[in-house]
Amino acid sequence: MPDVVTTMSHNWAFAVFLLGVCGLIAFMLGLSSLLGSKAWGRSKNEPFESGMLPTGSARLRLSAKFYLVAMLFVIFDVEALYLFAWSVSVRESGWPGLIEATVFIAILLAGLVYLWRIGALDWAPEGRRNRQAKLKQ
């Protein structure tokens, strides 16, 4: 019987917490809509950041290389998280864990070498690289 009473009191406490959170959210949204500014105008709709007025359009065309580097960063960053999780539990995982981590790192290294060999990490176009190579000679 005491377990039922304890469980019920925890459920009621959680329900009161949820009601309090919902009430606080409704209060903040309602208050901001009542007290907030309603002025409209051309200058109100322009972005203003760090004290600088915008120059030009926000629609910029970026090279696909930027997206490629961003994807590579996310991929290798997530893989670093896996290695961090392995390093935390290295004593519990033992030799099998070390072998699996070594295989994982080898696959990562093979992928990085592959990307390097196909030129995915090169920023300069082929013509500019050839000119720079000739200048260095």
Model confidence pLDDT, tens digit, residues 50-90: 767 767 776 777 777 788 778 888 888 888 888 898 889 88
pLDDT bucket at 28, cuts 50 / 70 / 90: very high
Burial class, 108, CB count within 10 angstroms (exposed 0-12 / middle 13-18 / buried 19+): middle
Q: Phi and psi (nearest 5°) for 123?
A: -85, -40
Contact predicate 121/92, CB 8 Å: no
* Alpha helices by DSSP H, 1-121: 2-35, 64-88, 90-118
| pTM tops 0.85 | no
